């Protein structure tokens, strides 16, 4: 009989993404309600030592799929690996992150396990043994509660930053190696090369603080003032669709319904009008600060704090003031 909670611990280049520890945190809470162990599945190449570290964060069992085939993420390979681990563990609940990888992976695993999936969830709870997920709809204008049909495992993809990360506690986990039974010929699509963006910055979907620029930034070189502010406060720089379409920023920086959905603790919008497409990607941010010289800009209706002024005057002042505060 299915029991316990399993999470997919996403890793890149031998390092776990923050969402892995967030899932372990919510997994601890849910497993107390459904009974059974808290387990994790790790997929990659040469990641056995990394997998064992999850015991320190609450995982009681870690299912490991390790091999050359999994050196880089591939939709088919990772889906087969996670599905094989889930069949072996037979959890009542299976959680993934609603990250770029997780959004691609979770529906594929769901199909392989013939179960249901609640995606982009911001809250999870158990009622009478059933997983109830809260998720935004209509571009984040309202929320609905969804429930997976009477199948197991009950799956949910959780939005990054919806929960705090699990803290290390010094425990250990049982390591279970899994062979998904696939070879190179099983994959119709193969990763030939991974092109990286600028190093040293946290991915937008996992960033705690984001500084974004819109059409009001006027030119690509003007993103320099946002980068300077971001460097001071440890933020990641994003952009609106208008800024990307105008050639001011790259596609990987786009926040919005057709870009990345973010959920930071602090979102600073500079020169962004607040079109519904953009709000859909950031309206669940904990605190929103807007800087725009147009007092009627829609962004102010959603912002917790607003500054009606020229961003080219305001942002450098913010940068200097943050420097002073952080130096104290």
Tell me, what CATH number does 42's domain have? 3.40.50.620
**Domain hosting residue 179, numbered range:** 5-186
Average pLDDT over residues 21-37: 93
Peptide bond into 153 cis (omega under 30): yes
**Percentage of residues in the chain with pLDDT exceeding 90?**
77
Angle, helices 75-89 vs 100-113, to 10°: value is 50
Coil, helix or strand for 315? helix
Distinct helix (H) and strand (E) counts, the chain:
9, 17
Q: Are residues 150 and 212 in the same domain?
A: no
Identify whether 83 is part of a domain.
Answer: yes
Strand order in the sheet with 38-44: 117-121, 154-158, 93-97, 5-8, 38-44, 61-66, 174-177
What is the model's pLDDT at position 3? 86
**Domain CATH code at residue 249:** 3.40.50.1220
Burial (CB < 10 A; 0-12, 13-18, 19+), residue 263, is: buried
What is the model's pLDDT at position 141? 81
Identify whether 52 is part of a domain.
Answer: yes
What is the model's pLDDT at position 199? 54
Q: Are residues 210 and 150 in the same domain?
A: no
Q: Are residues 73 and 176 in the same domain?
A: yes
Length of the chain: 328
Average pLDDT over residues 257-265: 91
* Residue 107 near residue 117, CB atoms below 8 Å: yes
Identify whether 146 is part of a domain.
Answer: yes
Average pLDDT over residues 289-307: 96
**Is the per-residue pLDDT at 82 higher than 60?**
yes
What is the model's pLDDT at position 194? 77
Q: Report how far residue 77's alpha carbon sits from residue 95's, in angstroms, rounded to the nearest whole number.
A: 18
Fill in the DSSP letter of residue 219.
S
What is the model's pLDDT at position 233? 96
Identify whether 199 is part of a domain.
Answer: no
What is the model's pLDDT at position 304? 97
**Contacts by residues 222-227 (CB-CB < 8 Å, ≥ 24 positions apart):** 222/248, 222/312, 223/248, 223/249, 225/311, 225/312, 225/315, 225/316, 225/319, 226/270, 226/315
What is the model's pLDDT at position 63? 97
Coil, helix or strand for 132? strand
Average pLDDT over residues 150-179: 90
Render pLDDT for 133-155 as a digit per residue (tens, 0 to 9): 999 888 778 899 999 888 999 99
The beta-strand segments (E) located in the chain are 5-8, 11-12, 15-16, 38-44, 61-66, 93-97, 117-121, 123-127, 130-137, 142-147, 154-158, 174-177, 209-213, 236-239, 266-270, 287-291, 305-307
Q: Are residues 221 and 172 in the same domain?
A: no
Average pLDDT over residues 271-288: 93
Enclosing H/E stretch for 84: helix 75-89
Q: Are residues 208 and 173 in the same domain?
A: no
Task: Give the model's confidence band at 184: pLDDT under 50 very low, under 70 low, under 90 confident, else very high.
Answer: confident
Q: Are residues 106 and 134 in the same domain?
A: yes
What is the model's pLDDT at position 270? 98
Q: Are residues 168 and 312 in the same domain?
A: no
Q: Are residues 171 and 94 in the same domain?
A: yes
Identify whether 286 is part of a domain.
Answer: yes
Prediction pTM value: 0.86
Which of residues 121, 156, 186 is at a domain's end?
186
Residue 245 phi, psi (nearest 5): -65, -30
Identify whether 196 is part of a domain.
Answer: no
**Is the per-residue pLDDT at 197 higher than 80?**
no
Identify whether 16 is part of a domain.
Answer: yes
Coil, helix or strand for 137? strand
Which of residues 186, 218, 251 is at a domain's end?
186
Q: Report how far residue 37's alpha carbon sits from residue 31's, in angstroms, rounded to the nearest whole number.
A: 7
What is the model's pLDDT at position 198? 58
* Residue 251 near residue 233, CB atoms below 8 Å: no
Closest CA to 293 of 266, 319, 316, 312: 312
Which of residues 124, 156, 186 is at a domain's end?
186
Q: Are residues 212 and 172 in the same domain?
A: no
Closest CA to 149 of 103, 113, 122, 106: 113
The mean predicted confidence, pLDDT, of the chain is 92
Q: Are residues 122 and 179 in the same domain?
A: yes
Q: Are residues 100 and 209 in the same domain?
A: no
Average pLDDT over residues 13-31: 93
Q: Report how far residue 84's alpha carbon sits from residue 77's, in angstroms, rounded to the nearest whole number.
A: 11
Identify whether 229 is part of a domain.
Answer: yes
Tally of domains within the chain: 2
**Is the per-residue pLDDT at 37 higher than 90?**
yes
Q: Are residues 163 and 38 in the same domain?
A: yes
């Amino acid at each position: 009989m299915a029991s316990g909670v399993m999470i997919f611990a996403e890793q890149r280049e031998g390092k776990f993404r923050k969402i892995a520890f967030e899932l372990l945190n919510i997994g601890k809470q849910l497993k107390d309600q459904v009974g059974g162990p808290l387990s994790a599945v790790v997929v990659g190449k040469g990641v056995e030592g990394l997998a064992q570290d999850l015991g320190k964060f609450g995982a009681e069992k870690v299912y490991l799929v390790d091999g050359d085939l999994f050196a880089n993420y591939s939709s088919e390979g990772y889906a087969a690996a996670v599905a094989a681990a889930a069949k072996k563990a037979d959890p009542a609940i299976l959680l993934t992150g609603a990250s770029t990888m997780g959004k691609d992976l979770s529906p594929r695993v769901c199909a392989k396990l013939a179960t249901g999936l609640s995606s982009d969830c911001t809250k999870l709870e158990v009622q009478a043994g059933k997983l109830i997920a809260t998720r935004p709809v209509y571009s984040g204008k309202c929320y609905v509660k969804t429930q997976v049909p009477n199948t197991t495992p009950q799956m949910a993809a959780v939005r990054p930053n919806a929960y705090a990360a699990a803290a290390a506690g010094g425990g250990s986990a049982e390591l279970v190696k899994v062979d998904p039974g696939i070879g190179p010929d099983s994959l119709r699509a193969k990763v030939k090369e991974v092109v990286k963006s600028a190093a040293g910055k946290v991915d937008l979907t996992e960033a705690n603080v984001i500084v974004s620029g819109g059409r009001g930034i006027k030119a690509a070189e003007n993103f320099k003032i946002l980068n300077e502010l971001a460097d001071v406060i440890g933020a990641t720089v994003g952009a609106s669709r208008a800024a990307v379409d105008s050639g001011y920023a790259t596609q990987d920086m786009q926040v919005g319904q057709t870009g990345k959905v973010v959920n930071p603790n602090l979102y600073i919008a500079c020169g962004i009008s607040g079109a519904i497409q953009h709000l859909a990607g950031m309206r669940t941010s904990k605190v929103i600060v807007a800087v725009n010289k147009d007092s009627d800009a829609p962004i102010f209706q959603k912002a917790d704090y607003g500054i009606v002024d020229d961003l080219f005057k305001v942002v450098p002042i913010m940068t200097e003031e943050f420097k002073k505060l952080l130096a104290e």
